[in-house]
Amino acid sequence: MLSFDVSYHWHNFHAHYQAQLALGVTSILGASGGGKSTLLSLLGGYIEGQGSLQFAGQELLSLAPYERPITTLFQSDNLFPQLSVWDNIAIGLSPSRALSQAQQDKVNWALAQVQLQQHSDKFPDQLSGGQAQRVAIARVLVREKPILLLDEPFSALDPKLRSDMLHLIKTLTEQYQWTTIMVTHSPMDAILLGGQVLLVEEGKVAAQVPASVLRDPPSDSPFNRYLHVSPVAK
């Protein structure tokens, strides 16, 4: 269980997020400027908030990003351009990339999980956008952190690749029992991933529902405003 009760202030933007997230996937939806990325940055430790952030009984808010049981996957720029695919994954295990045999086996295993064994000697500028994100996912795999934060990681990909990636994240989250939190602008992505959905508005968690509710929200759902569904028309 990941639970948070965190406040953050930036000029006129006053946020106070509260929620409890079970294992599995949670998507974060909400209008632009509502505070989705700010919430993710607070969880990852990239900005400083006040309050409490607990995972499996441990308080995380006072920890630096690298001390938290968290990996973040950004929209792009997840890879080091001067390192090969192999080294980009190896660096998740050791900053020096001097790996034991067991660690090398793990890199190979992660490459196989994302089906990039043939590409291990390539460099990021030789990869497609989807391949680059799969390398970043392989690094998430070897790091073995139980919480994965995704900030619109697949929005630059074409629809087929995007749905492949979402399936991969869904499968890996179930297989490794991660707590995965993804910011997205697409209700369809949230439905595809399943799990829970948070609606973030004006710096608050305005609603938390199972993703399946988005298919046909009840007439009094706060999601209607966001989805542009008129309660009268329903």
Ligand X SMILES: Nc1ncnc2c1ncn2[C@@H]1O[C@H](COP(=O)(O)OP(=O)(O)OP(=O)(O)O)[C@@H](O)[C@H]1O
C-alpha span between 11 and 92 (Å, rounded): 36
* 142 three-state secondary structure: helix
Closest separation in Å from C-beta 98 to ligand X: 37
Which token pair is 71? 């990996």
Q: Of the two residues 37 and 108, which places its CB atom closer to ligand X in the complex?
A: 37
Residue with tokens 């009094």: 220
Q: Of the two residues 25 and 43, which places its CB atom closer to ligand X in the complex?
A: 43
Q: Of the two residues 186 and 224, which places its CB atom closer to ligand X in the complex?
A: 186
- Name the nearest CA neighbour of 132 among 104, 108, 156: 156
Which token pair is 95? 């900053």
**Other C-beta atoms within 10 Å of 72: how many?**
23
Closest separation in Å from C-beta 42 to ligand X: 9
DSSP string of 114-175, one letter each residue:
TT-GGGTT--GGGS-HHHHHHHHHHHHHHHT-SEEEEESTTTTS-HHHHHHHHHHHHHHHHH
Enter the DSSP assignment of 63.
S
Closest separation in Å from C-beta 35 to ligand X: 4
Closest separation in Å from C-beta 47 to ligand X: 6
Q: Of the two residues 30 and 217, which places its CB atom closer to ligand X in the complex?
A: 30
Main-chain dihedrals φ then ψ at residue 24, nearest 5 degrees: 110, -165
Residue ranges of alpha helices (H) inside 3-117 are 36-44, 85-90, 101-113
Count CA atoms closer than 13 A to 160's CA, side-chain side: 0
Q: Of the two residues 35 and 44, which places its CB atom closer to ligand X in the complex?
A: 35
Residue with tokens 């196989």: 112
Residues near ligand X (CB under 6 A) are 10, 13, 30, 32-38, 47
Q: Of the two residues 86 and 154, which places its CB atom closer to ligand X in the complex?
A: 154
Q: Of the two residues 89 and 214, which places its CB atom closer to ligand X in the complex?
A: 214
Closest separation in Å from C-beta 41 to ligand X: 7
Helix H or strand E encompassing 29? strand 24-29
Closest separation in Å from C-beta 34 to ligand X: 4
Closest separation in Å from C-beta 39 to ligand X: 7
